[in-house]
Structure formats: structure tokens, C-alpha cells
Structure 1
């Protein structure tokens, strides 16, 4: 990102022409990472395979052992909720910083309510909704209140810990989620995504924070959304990314990986990259906003 990219992003945040899209990395320091959670549950359930860092696969194994996936999801929700809230008074806390802007829609694949709490701290009353990805009964598009600056919408695409059965957690969940979203997008009679959410996703600039855009489930979802947008209306988006891991000791391997992702995401998906953590991005953003931000 250069200075012009930052100016555009800041103007979009201030004017409300931006939709944040938050993933697990936005909760770093409060909630465990996916790999940490995965290894913890792999140890609990004596997971026998070498990929104990793969949360969906470990949870698939645990669900089979329990013979009750909703019970497992309740355990996960209880564990995550026990970790408490982020420090919203910290200047670089992602949820608190984003809550200060005049944004109407917030999207997340996280299970927590941190966005709602951060918005409440700014005197706003958030409406929340959860994607009904597991509902196989045909129905009309869910109707939601029109989002506003004072009453924004927080939309959970992968479930919310207040409704454990809504979580997209196991491999089976991810497969069904992707299949149902694809089916909904191709159907003229039904969609899983409410109109205000779809409008925010397809007309405003998106700010991805806490994701790895190498993750195939996220890329399938994003590519599906791109197909609904005419080329003339395509926006520039921003993604906060950690430097990708490399499997070679060659000194320039990391730089090559960064160049590849920057080219691929920039040319194919029109996504600019900020290399760093969510907290580092927020620190830079706050500095560029100037005193009083």
C-alpha cells in the first residue's frame, strides 16, 4: 500500500464507503488462533493424524467421537467465551478502532460478539444476524432492518457463539456451507445472504482483516461474490496479511511469495495488501488519521 492507497482507504472509512470483513486474526491476543485451538482439541480427543493444526479436520474427528456435533460446538463456544473481552481501551484494538467510523455493515466469520461490544462502547446499537447456511428448507431472503450509522448490522457468515448449532466448524460443515452458498447463488428463488449484506459486499470497498487469502474456503466464497459484480463496478479492496510461510531456506523465498500473492490478489481480485498483523495495521491507520483518532 502506498500513500495514495492509504488516503483512499481513510476517506472510505470516514465516509462509510467501506465494509470491514473480520477473521480470526482480528482477535489475536484474546482468543486462541485456529492452530492453537486445533492442537488443544487434538490433545483432548487423542487425534491420531499428523495434521493436528487443521481445525476443521480435528473437529471432524472430535464430532465423530462424540456422535453429537452440536455438543462439541457448545464446548467450543464455552471455551472461547471464557477467554473474556479484548481491551477496547487500547488504541490499536481492531474492533474498537473500526467501531469509531460511520460504517453501516460489519461482516465476520468469527463466532464472537466483540464487534457488538465495541460498537456499544461508541454509543451504537448493533443489530446482529447469522447466516442460515444449514437450513435446507426453501425460504425467502431474510429481511433485516436497514443498517444505519447508529444501528449498524453485524453479520456472522460462519455462526455465532450464542447459537452453537450455527457454527461452521467441522469439515462436513465447511463442505455443506460452500455447497449451500453455491446453490443459493445459482438459484433465482432463494439466497442465503440478506439484501443489506449483499449490497455492502458488492458495492463498497472491503477491508479484510484477520484472514489468510490462501485459504480455499474463503477464496471460493469471495470468487462467488465477484461473479455477481459487473466489471465496471469492481472496487479496490484491502487485505491485512501476515507474511506467508515458505518451505525453503533460500533468502529471497519470502519476498518471492509476497510478490506472487501481491500480483495474484492485485490482478485477479483487485486486493491491495498490507503486510503485518491486525494490530500493526491499526497502529499505522491511527497514525495516518492524525491526533484525536
Structure 2
């Protein structure tokens, strides 16, 4: 379940005359940002390093909330939370020019009146946002794809003042708290070695929980791990950080239950930015929970199981830490767990659904309208490239492969955009090159994944034969792929609708409709955007140009070309522009009347697009440019395509996109990928 918040972000940076501060309130209508003002903050203030967290917290509050702008912003956010009966999310951003401020125990912060510690006495969830030198976007998984690794090191021969860790019991507690999330454990003596830990991390896990003893030695964080023979192994924290940063896919969350893993605490000083928690966040780990002092084992025995049980439910690291911190509020080390994140929402996985997983209010579940429209036959599915990715690979993968092979020279972010890369190839090679590469890429993907299903005569085709015989290869593979119960094409074919629209130039959807019922006779039509597409459409419809679409004779309308005619494909930037110009000039002749009528007078179910892709933007403009918007407003339309991994700030982006699509086309956005949507659709369609 996703939660609603009143959100406040406080940014401290170094100015020409000292520190400066500003506050940003996140509002449904946009952000409210205060002016940047001076902050009289002295990091060496003895009160900030007092052993009593109450002294620290009040001193920090007196300093941080001294500027009226910051104090008023906090009070406004707190009041908004109370009036809406929601929680307050408080995020501290310390600029890269003021990293020395991370040594301060911000988790002890009191309210402006100095009456109560925010993190334990009120519903306030606190985290520290860290800027990262790692530019990769955090890759979030759906909740169903999350797994965890628990490593517990308890080698013999440590100092007498270091309490022994019951490794097996700790691993069992955390495994039980995370269930049903799959958990791999390294808890037997001799298992918590660097080699075994990283062998497990390379397999790909979302949560990495490391329990061991640690300390700051010569201002460097050190960890007591194990060797294969069970003996102790003192490992430099920077080695752990560097190796995690080099992983192709680092964990989404690293939890360090190690004394001084976030620093040495206010009573003992030390450079917190040299400690493991901040270092891991800076190296690209999306979220880190670490200890900023000599935390007690008793406190962690209560804190950690509750933290992981909360995390399992919603994936929000700051909320899970806040709930667990409140449970140890009576302990003197309650403030030591610190959350570092580079995620705006502090969420390490996302729940699929409408509105980012929020539970709809009574009577406001969009699924009711979706299912009702399908059962009345008044839905038109529009299939994007994401629907065919299990067979053909992704357009992103295709673009990156071509860019690497042909040394694409433009900006790095354009290497991910197929139209830009195809345009470069068309200009630097010859216009036919992108088409030939497109066929070759699809053929290679099919041969790699479904070699056993392809007849021997269709394997190892020479380049010049791939174009002519790719359709036969797809037909052979379709029989195997469509046997999978949750294949998207199979599920959509079972809806028994009269018209399907697709951006896929293959006949995979046609095969799915025929497989569902041998008596079904689907007809293929093309968008007649150029002369080649016109000729191909004429050839395909010579006997049934005016056929009436129905569940028995559905029309499969291909928006961007057909594999039978390579010149009908829309691949390059120029071709997308030509497509839009053709559609805008002569819509009636380019898109058949049955399709135009259906686009205007049915509920659109748009599946498998990236909202930022050329495919979707051109498709969406084509729909909006049609006459008949008054009929389209009769229905609730849905777009199942919002992948949080494709955007930097999913929370803000979702807010913007939902408002945009609601205003333009009364369209609801589904948060999740094609597989999640199809699984939910199947579940909802069951009687």
C-alpha cells in the first residue's frame, strides 16, 4: 500500500558568507520554495556533540529553524499533515559543498518549539538525501521481484568488549520479518567472506543486510568479516563500497548493522562522510540504513525485525526506519539508525496499480470501468513495443546495440532512442540500413530464445533472405509463445474485441487471434502514411476492404508498418515527422473509417509504451488530432505503461503525467509493466 504525505525538503548549502538554507514544500499543484537565506550554523558547537540526544536535538532545532522562512515552511507542512490526517515526510539535503554537516546527529532534531523529538514523538519520517557521483538511475523492481541477502559475520578472536553475535538467530529473525520475500543467508561460520558476499550480490538482490562488528580506525571505516576457514578478516570499508559500486546492478537498499557504520556519533567526533553509509549512497546505492554510533545489540534486536517487516509491506525506507525507531524511543541509542537515500520517494520497490499503488477510495477504482467496458465490447486495445519484448527484445536494447556497433557520436542520452540512432545510420550509411538492421535484430533475438521451435531450414539464414522469411520464423515461434497462459497477446486475443491497434509490424497478434479460435478470421489493415504502406494495405485488403469488424472478423490495424513491406516501417526521426505530416494533412484517407470511429467511440486500453517514446507521442497526437473528442469523453481510458525506472523522480513525474493525460484525454495511468498489468487484468476478468 502506498501512503500519502505532507512533504518538506530542507536544503543546506555553502554560500560565499557561510551556510545558506531553503525549504521546499511538495504540493499537489506544484512545489512551494522559500527564498534562500543565511543559516548561522557552527558545526563545532559543543551542543551538537553532546552525549545526550535531547541536548543535540534542541540545539539543532534552534539553529535550523531560526530563519523565519524555514520555520514557517515547517509549520505549514506540519499543519497540512494534521489537517489531512496524513504523515509528514521530512528530507534533509546537504549540498556537495557542505558535506561536513553530515557529522551532525540530525536524527535527534526537535520541533521548532523544542518540545519533542520529531523522529520518535510525531508521525514524521526523516531521511538524508545524498547527491551521487553515480549517474545511473536507480532501477526499481516491482514488489514481486524483490529478493534479499543476509550476511552475518561473527569470527572468533575479537576484542572482549565486542559482544558475540548469534548469527543463525539473527538470520532467522530477518528472514521471518521479510517473508514471503526470498532471502539468501550467509550465517554459518566461514560464509560471510568478501568472495561469497559478492558472488551472491552479482546474482542480483534488492536488499543486502550485513551484520558485523566495525569501527573507525585511523579515520577509516573497517569491518570484521570472515575468511573461508572461519578466522577473522579485517576489511577496509572502502573496498566494500568500491566493489558494490562496480556491480552492474547494485542492491536498492544496503542495511549495515555494524557499530559506527555511519560514523562515530556526536560524542566521539569523526568524519561521518568517510563512513560506510554515506559512501555507499554516493557510490550509487539508492538507499542505505546505517548506524551513526555504538548501537546496542538489544536495540537492534527490536529495531531490525520491525524495520524489515514494515519495509516488506510498502518498500519505503524512511517510513520503515521511523516506525522501528519509535519502538526503541526509550533506549539511549534510538537516534543512531540513519537513512541515506538518493530516491525522492525513499521507496526501493513499487507496487503496481493506478496512482502509484494508492488504494482507491470506495467507488473510485478505475478497474471497474476497464472491466465493464471490455465485457460490453467497447474497448480498443492499442499495443506498444513493450508487449512484444519477450520475443523481440526492447527498442532500448536495439538502439544501444546499434549505437555501440556504429559508434554513434551524439549525446549519451540519445543512444537510448531508436529514432535518433536510426536517423544517424540512415545518414551515415544509407537509408536502407536501419531497416535491414531491424530485421536482423528481430531474427537474432528469436533464434537465440526459441531456436528449438524454428525449423532447421529457417536457421542460419543469409542476410539477404531474412527480410523475406522473417514472417515464417515468427509464425513458427508463435505456436510456442502463445502456449504460455499469461502471454500478453494471448490474453488480449481472449477479450474477443472487434478492433486491435498495434505498433508491432509482425503478425504475432494475428496468430494469437487465430489460436484462440480457429474460426476467427482476422483482417490486417495498415496506416497508409506513405506509398509503400498504401500498396501493402491494398494488397492485404483486396477482398475485404469494407469488411465489418466483429469478434469473428476482427481488424488488426498496424500503425507503423508491416514486415511484408520494409519501406512501410516507421523507424527514423524523419519517418516519424513524415508520418505526422501525412496524418495531419489527410487523416480520412490514411486511417480507415472503422478505426477512426473506434478511436473516438470506445475506451482506449493503451499497453506497452514508454510515455517519453516517439511511438507513444506520435500515437497520442494522432488520437488527439481526430474529430469526435466529445464521443471519446464518454469513456475512461487507460494507459498501462508508466515504468518508474524510466524517470528520475517518479513521484513528481507521476503527478505531472496524470494531470496531463487526465486533462487531454480523460486517461488514467497504470504504474507498472506489461506483465503486471496482464496478470491483474486476468485476475479481474475472472467471474
CA gap of 1:265–1:244, structure 2 versus 1, over 3 A, is farther
Corresponding position of 2:608: 210
Shift of 1:46: 2.5
Cα separation, 1, equivalents of 2:612 and 2:409: 26
Q: Deviations over 1:3-40 (max 9, x none)?
A: 64212211211221000001011112222211100111
- C-alpha contact (below 8 Å) 2:580/2:622 kept by paired residues: no
- C-alpha contact (below 8 Å) 1:38/1:54 kept by paired residues: yes
Q: Deviations over 1:182-219 (max 9, x none)?
A: 1113xxxx520011111111111100001123346633
Alignment match of 1:275 (pick from 656, 664, 671): 671
Matched, 1:194 2:592: yes
CA gap of 1:37–1:138, structure 2 versus 1, over 3 A, is closer
Alignment match of 1:41 (pick from 380, 396, 402): 402
Shift of 1:257: 1.6
Runs in 1 of length 4+ with deviation above 3 angstroms?
A: 1-4, 136-139, 141-144, 214-221, 244-247
For the aligned residue pairs, the C-alpha RMSD in angstroms reads 2.6
- C-alpha contact (below 8 Å) 1:244/1:258 kept by paired residues: no
CA gap of 1:104–1:232, structure 2 versus 1, over 3 A, is closer
State the TM-score, normalizing by the size of structure 2: 0.38
Corresponding position of 1:73: 435
Q: Deviations over 1:133-160 (max 9, x none)?
A: 1139999x97442111111110111011
CA gap of 1:79–1:137, structure 2 versus 1, over 3 A, is closer
* The 10-residue stretch of structure 1 (197-206 or 89-98) with the greater mean CA deviation from structure 2: 89-98
- C-alpha contact (below 8 Å) 1:178/1:221 kept by paired residues: no
- C-alpha contact (below 8 Å) 1:239/1:273 kept by paired residues: yes
Find the residue that maps to 1:96 and give its secondary structure: helix
Find the residue that maps to 1:106 and give its secondary structure: strand
Shift of 1:78: 4.0
Cα separation, 2, equivalents of 1:166 and 1:223: 20
Cα separation, 2, equivalents of 1:168 and 1:138: 14
Corresponding position of 1:287: 683
Corresponding position of 2:566: 164
Corresponding position of 1:250: none
Corresponding position of 1:64: 427
Find the residue that maps to 1:191 and give its secondary structure: helix
Shift of 1:264: 1.6
Cα separation, 2, equivalents of 1:240 and 1:172: 28
* The 10-residue stretch of structure 1 (152-161 or 232-241) with the greater mean CA deviation from structure 2: 232-241
Cα separation, 1, equivalents of 2:426 and 2:418: 12
Unaligned runs of 5+ in 1: 248-252
- C-alpha contact (below 8 Å) 1:95/1:115 kept by paired residues: yes
Cα separation, 2, equivalents of 1:26 and 1:255: 25
Shift of 1:81: 4.1
Find the residue that maps to 2:415 and give its secondary structure: coil
Cα separation, 2, equivalents of 1:230 and 1:245: 30
Alignment match of 1:7 (pick from 345, 368, 376): 368
Matched, 1:53 2:416: yes
Superposition map of 1:135-146 within 5 A = 135=531, 143-146=545-548
Matched, 1:240 2:623: no
Matched, 1:259 2:661: no
Larger Rg: 2
Corresponding position of 1:30: 391
Cα separation, 1, equivalents of 2:546 and 2:557: 10
CA gap of 1:42–1:15, structure 2 versus 1, over 3 A, is same
* The 10-residue stretch of structure 1 (211-220 or 4-13) with the greater mean CA deviation from structure 2: 211-220
CA gap of 1:54–1:268, structure 2 versus 1, over 3 A, is same
CA gap of 1:149–1:137, structure 2 versus 1, over 3 A, is closer
Matched, 1:89 2:479: no
Q: Deviations over 1:85-144 (max 9, x none)?
A: 4622223211100101120000011222211111011122211122121139999x9744
Matched, 1:122 2:482: no
Unaligned runs of 5+ in 2: 1-353, 355-359, 447-473, 539-544
State the TM-score, normalizing by the size of structure 1: 0.86
Cα separation, 1, equivalents of 2:417 and 2:677: 26
Find the residue that maps to 1:52 and give its secondary structure: helix
Find the residue that maps to 1:103 and give its secondary structure: coil
- C-alpha contact (below 8 Å) 1:130/1:159 kept by paired residues: yes
CA gap of 1:13–1:200, structure 2 versus 1, over 3 A, is same
Cα separation, 2, equivalents of 1:274 and 1:167: 29
CA gap of 1:136–1:285, structure 2 versus 1, over 3 A, is closer
Residue correspondences, number: 280
